[in-house]
Amino acid sequence: MATRIPLPSGAMRKEPRQARSRATTDAILDAAAHILGERGWAGLTTNAVAEAAGASIGSLYQYFPNKLALIDAVRRRHFDDVLAVLHAAANLETPRASRIAALVDGMIAVHSRHPAAHRVLLEESPRGDDSRGVHDLFGAECKRGYEALFMANTSGMSDHVGIGARVLAGALAGAVHEAARQGALSSPALRQELITLVDTYLSAPRTEAKSRPFGEKSLRR
Amino acid sequence: MATRIPLPSGAMRKEPRQARSRATTDAILDAAAHILGERGWAGLTTNAVAEAAGASIGSLYQYFPNKLALIDAVRRRHFDDVLAVLHAAANLETPRASRIAALVDGMIAVHSRHPAAHRVLLEESPRGDDSRGVHDLFGAECKRGYEALFMANTSGMSDHVGIGARVLAGALAGAVHEAARQGALSSPALRQELITLVDTYLSAPRTEAKSRPFGEKSLRR
Amino acid sequence: MATRIPLPSGAMRKEPRQARSRATTDAILDAAAHILGERGWAGLTTNAVAEAAGASIGSLYQYFPNKLALIDAVRRRHFDDVLAVLHAAANLETPRASRIAALVDGMIAVHSRHPAAHRVLLEESPRGDDSRGVHDLFGAECKRGYEALFMANTSGMSDHVGIGARVLAGALAGAVHEAARQGALSSPALRQELITLVDTYLSAPRTEAKSRPFGEKSLRR
Amino acid sequence: MATRIPLPSGAMRKEPRQARSRATTDAILDAAAHILGERGWAGLTTNAVAEAAGASIGSLYQYFPNKLALIDAVRRRHFDDVLAVLHAAANLETPRASRIAALVDGMIAVHSRHPAAHRVLLEESPRGDDSRGVHDLFGAECKRGYEALFMANTSGMSDHVGIGARVLAGALAGAVHEAARQGALSSPALRQELITLVDTYLSAPRTEAKSRPFGEKSLRR
DNA sequence: AATGAATGAGAGTTCATTCAT
DNA sequence: TATGAATGAACTCTCATTCAT
């Protein structure tokens, strides 16, 4: 594989300010996401990305110091999208149902662009050294977003905010990825079930009592 | 040069019958799962697997015709574990709460062995040629298992069995994987939240009415 | 891992159009022929070829998809050379003796470049998948060439054209290869004996009578 | 490939005196010749030979110190056969035509056992270090045999004995190998053409005059 | 003696990355 | 600035050979 990491692998070699540069980097990122989804990590070669983007391999390295920085950038873009969805879903000025629908619709929309790429991106793929910073930063941001959403939509108080947010995040992402794998992202039934999933989970009665022994009774509402 | 004899890339070159051989192949599979979780697909080299298993690279290839067949075998083992959990959770002779607890506990247990390996295994990693068969077969089996579980634990009827089962499967796996990533698999709070997730989702009122327009009302219990 | 894309294993990955590329591929082919003659098939490693050609192993694979395609290319070049000699030797506008001398001199010249490589090339060395096509095509072309030559230089008619051409082809190649092995390719005595071989063989009286019983008499002139 | 040569690679580890051992070594040699002809040098692996011979790889190494010694033994057997044919063809007590027929028939017979193996064996395949001795010894013996045959069947004197013998040897072997490749070894026409080839070549008028300038005239009888 | 699992050097091939043009 | 030929470290896989049983 090689994966030599000579440079500080910083985000980008040069910020693309010109319109042309911007178009090139976007094309590269799109190509990377596309190939990632289509052929998986094993099929994601820098040369393949460059070719699919209509650029030369040299140009690719003009914008991204190495392969890891490239996929980090793809990931960052995906995080941005997810973050935007989360912010919308945490907006208390809209009714609860709308917020949940916005969350579900947003997640579906986000994953509709490169259906298969995201799971590879999130679940696998090594993180660039820079990512240790950037990725964790965005990961934390996502966590905060989900926690805000969790608190905004949950009725009672709960000391499970951290865990609950992660469970929600994982569950929703998992269900969407699974649907993406089956090519069922656009099914109305999926939408409805996801809403049910999120709605019922967030509606579950919770108390502040720490580690209340779980028993048969607690399962019944 | 060794004229390439494609081999069905199938399961194994030779079935390990002796105790020793069996121990070796198991060690190899464990090593592969371990490395997969520890270093991801990019870090999974056949030599690293052999070394970690305390075997020589030659021995590895005595049992697995190629790298893909190796990870397919790891995947198959994981599928078997998941399947066992599903069967237990679909057992109608135990009370509902027990079934759900068994499902959650089982999934947590299954993912505790190689916390990080499974997401890489399921979400990424190319499928061997043989996998197209074996994997899909197990995938279908899992689907059936989840559908049985869905029907066994859902109160009303629903025409969303297929989608619902997938949503449940994806959500549970996603949440568990996310927790595994955070190293929170053994947290009691996680267990409780997962039970809540599954329980509330399965308890959600469903009707046979096809594509009932989703509105504010349906979100309220 | 790089999902194996079998490639027609065909001629070349990219046709070398530029002068530089052409020089590189030629150097590689020469190096391959050289090593083949010097160290035999067992000594022909792709890395050795690349090094001998003054190129990197990567460059070699830029032009030849695999080792088999490489030796197929070497073979093809040799076939071309042989074909050219055959065409010259079948030219009826020159006197018979000249034609035969041209054949012998041509074959000696062709084998003088890589004295030992050709026998390895023709007698051994697996044929690439593509070769099945290309090689047989050239083989057929050679056969036609030899048959034309046989008919052009034989006095009487014969129903042994096919066999006779092959015998001539094999005999001449065999004698030249044997001489090459002894390093006697440039000996004038060799030239004379080869001419004698070809001349007397082609001059032998032949009749159309099928399978005339061979007896003592037929050996006497 | 490895081809480590640790032992003096002497002929054989132990002379097979017992009948059983003898049968095993013969089976191994036959298997080697068979595979060599069938799959070429690249397909000749020690494990394949052992399996084809119905022996274990361990047994093979009990009789042959390494792969090279194995093929040297195969070669030696072939040389013995050829030598026997040469001796018969040099026997002056039988009429000339019979001698030539014996040569041709013998060579055809020798190559009928493993049609394709011999060319690989003679033309290619590395010589074991021991072979340097054994092979050259047999090679010299063959050369002497062919020279005897050449002198015995040529009418006039000639200073081309050495070259002529080699040309004859190479031509005959080449023609037979070519026929073997085409699967035409048993054709009566082949036999007749080979006899013509040898007969006319040996019958060609030769003088002692050294390097008589070759011209148009010398081609006409 | 015979067996065949195990070994590991080394061969074929890929692909991240550089740099001359 | 853009290109893509060239590079070579690292990877997958084979097979000659050994040795415990």
* pLDDT tens readout for residues B199-208: 999 988 886 5
Using 50, 70 and 90 to split pLDDT, how confident is the model at B215? very low
DSSP strands (E only) in B68-173: none
For B70, residues 6+ apart whose C-beta sits below 8 A from its C-beta are B28, B29, B32, B46, B49, B60, B64
CA distance to partner chain A, nearest, from residue B140 (Å): 12
Locus of tokens 């790089």: C2
Contact pairs from chain A to chain B, CB under 8 Å: 175
Nearest nucleotide (CA of D44 to C1') = F15
Residue B56 lies in a domain: no
* D48, closest residue in chain B (CA to CA): B2
Residue C137 lies in a domain: yes
For B115, residues 6+ apart whose C-beta sits below 8 A from its C-beta are B37, B180, B181, B183, B185
Instruction: For residue C33, give the nearest of C149, C128, C121, C160 by alpha carbon.
Output: C121
Residue D134 lies in a domain: yes
**Spatial contact of D64 and D28, defined as CB atoms under 8 Å apart:** yes
Instruction: Kindly report, residue by residue over A37-62, the tens digit of the pLDDT.
Output: 888 888 899 999 999 999 999 999 99
Nearest nucleotide (CA of C25 to C1') = F5
Which residue gives the smallest C-alpha to C1' distance to E6?
B59
Instruction: Kindly report, residue by residue over D4-38, the tens digit of the pLDDT.
Output: 333 344 456 655 556 778 889 999 999 999 998 88
Could you check: is the Cβ of residue C203 within 7 Å of any atom of nucleic acid strand E? no
CA distance to partner chain C, nearest, from residue A37 (Å): 15
**For the ranges B124-128, C60-64, C208-212, the one whose mean pLDDT is highest:** C60-64
Average pLDDT taken over every residue of chain D:
81
**Do B3 and C126 count as a contact with CB atoms less than 8 A apart?**
yes
Residue C198 lies in a domain: yes
Determine which of A41-55, A156-170, A172-186, A187-201 has the lowest per-residue pLDDT on average.
A156-170
Q: CA at B54, C1' at F21: how many angstroms apart? A: 21
Q: Which residues 156-185 in chain A have a CB closer than 7 A to strand E? A: none
Q: CA at C50, C1' at E7: how many angstroms apart? A: 30
CA distance to partner chain D, nearest, from residue C141 (Å): 15
The three-class DSSP label of residue A102 is helix
Q: HSE of B150 in the Cβ direction (CA atoms, 13 Å)?
A: 25
Per cent of chain A over pLDDT 70 is 76
For C100, residues 6+ apart whose C-beta sits below 8 A from its C-beta are C89, C153, C195, C198, C199, C202, D219
Q: What residues of A are in contact with residue C3 (Cβ under 8 Å)?
A: 39, 42-43
CA distance to partner chain B, nearest, from residue C41 (Å): 10
Residue A157 lies in a domain: yes
Q: CA at B50, C1' at E5: how many angstroms apart? A: 15
| Residue A66 CA, distance from chain mean position | 22
Give the residue-averaged pLDDT of C82-93.
Answer: 87
Q: CA at A134, C1' at E17: how many angstroms apart? A: 24
**Spatial contact of A144 and A150, defined as CB atoms under 8 Å apart:** no
Instruction: Kindly report, residue by residue over B139-149, the tens digit of the pLDDT.
Output: 788 888 888 88
| Residue B24 CA, distance from chain mean position | 23
Q: HSE of B12 in the Cβ direction (CA atoms, 13 Å)?
A: 17
Token code pair at residue A193: 């079930």
Angle between helices C19-43 and C67-89 (to 10 degrees): 100
Give me the pLDDT at residue A220, please.
Answer: 38
Average pLDDT taken over every residue of chain B:
81
Give me the pLDDT at residue A65, please.
Answer: 94
Residue C59 lies in a domain: no
Nearest to D214 among C164, C172, C195 (CB): C195
Q: CA at D56, C1' at F16: how many angstroms apart? A: 14
**Does the CA dihedral A157-A162-A163-A166 come out positive or negative?**
positive
**Spatial contact of C47 and C54, defined as CB atoms under 8 Å apart:** no
Instruction: For residue C168, give the nearest of C98, C80, C107 by alpha carbon.
Output: C107
Give me the pLDDT at residue B218, please.
Answer: 41
Q: CA at C1, C1' at E14: how many angstroms apart? A: 8
Q: Which residues 50-89 in chain D have a CB closer than 7 A to strand E? A: 55-59, 61-62
Bases along strand E below 7 A from a protein CB: 1-20
C-alpha A124/C-alpha B44 separation (Å) is 12
* D125, closest residue in chain C (CA to CA): C40
Rg (chain B; Cα; Å) = 20
* C66, closest residue in chain B (CA to CA): B1
Give me the pLDDT at residue B45, please.
Answer: 95
**Do A123 and B119 count as a contact with CB atoms less than 8 A apart?**
yes
Which residue gives the smallest C-alpha to C1' distance to E1?
D59
Could you check: is the Cβ of residue A61 within 7 Å of any atom of nucleic acid strand E? yes
CA distance to partner chain A, nearest, from residue B20 (Å): 33
**Spatial contact of B160 and B98, defined as CB atoms under 8 Å apart:** no
Of D138 and B34, the structure prediction assigns the larger pLDDT to: B34
Q: CA at D3, C1' at E7: how many angstroms apart? A: 15
- Chain C: which residues have CB within 8 Å of chain B? 1, 3, 67-68, 126
Nearest nucleotide (CA of C9 to C1') = E13
CA distance to partner chain B, nearest, from residue C71 (Å): 12
C-alpha D119/C-alpha D173 separation (Å) is 8
Give me the pLDDT at residue C99, please.
Answer: 92
pLDDT at A210 over 60: no
Instruction: Kindly report, residue by residue over C177-209, the tens digit of the pLDDT.
Output: 989 888 899 999 999 999 999 999 998 888 654
Select from A5, A163, A214, A221 the residue whose CB has the most chain B CBs within 10 Å, as the one to mutate to test that interface.
Answer: A163
Which residue gives the smallest C-alpha to C1' distance to F1?
A59
Nearest to B174 among A42, A163, A175 (CB): A175
Locus of tokens 């662009």: A113
Per cent of chain C over pLDDT 70 is 76
Q: Which amino acid is at A20?
A: R
Bases along strand F below 7 A from a protein CB: 1-20
Select from C105, C124, C142, C154 the residue whose CB has the most chain D CBs within 10 Å, as the one to mutate to test that interface.
Answer: C124
Q: What residues of A are in contact with residue B160 (Cβ under 8 Å)?
A: 189, 192-193
Of A217 and D205, the structure prediction assigns the larger pLDDT to: D205
Could you check: is the Cβ of residue C2 within 7 Å of any atom of nucleic acid strand E? yes
Could you check: is the Cβ of residue B154 within 7 Å of any atom of nucleic acid strand E? no
Per cent of chain D over pLDDT 90 is 41
Give me the pLDDT at residue A138, please.
Answer: 73
Token code pair at residue B57: 């690279």
Per cent of chain B over pLDDT 90 is 38
Of A7 and A194, the structure prediction assigns the larger pLDDT to: A194
Instruction: Kindly report, residue by residue over B66-122, the tens digit of the pLDDT.
Output: 999 999 899 888 888 888 999 888 878 889 899 999 999 999 999 988 878 887 776
Residue-number span of the structural domain to which A83 is assigned: 71-203
**Do D187 and C40 count as a contact with CB atoms less than 8 A apart?**
no
C-alpha C89/C-alpha C148 separation (Å) is 9
CB neighbour class for C186 (10 Å; exposed up to 12, middle 13-18, buried from 19): exposed
CB neighbour class for A207 (10 Å; exposed up to 12, middle 13-18, buried from 19): exposed
Average pLDDT taken over every residue of chain A:
80
**What is the total residue count of chain A?**
221
Give the residue-averaged pLDDT of B192-198.
Answer: 95
Q: CA at B46, C1' at F11: how many angstroms apart? A: 8
C-alpha B190/C-alpha B187 separation (Å) is 5
Average pLDDT taken over every residue of chain C:
81
Residue B115 lies in a domain: yes
Of B17 and A219, the structure prediction assigns the larger pLDDT to: B17
Q: Which residues 9-68 in chain C have a CB closer than 7 A to strand E? A: 44-47, 57-58, 61, 65-68
pLDDT at B150 over 70: yes
**Does the CA dihedral A155-A158-A163-A165 come out positive or negative?**
positive
Q: What residues of B are in contact with residue C67 (Cβ under 8 Å)?
A: 1
Q: How many C-beta atoms surround the C-beta of residue A58 within 10 A?
A: 8
Q: CA at B48, C1' at E8: how many angstroms apart? A: 14
User: Domain total for chain B?
Assistant: 1
Give the residue-averaged pLDDT of D151-168.
Answer: 82
Which domain CATH number covers D117?
Answer: 1.10.357
Locus of tokens 């530029």: C18
Residue A86 lies in a domain: yes
This prediction has a pTM of: 0.83
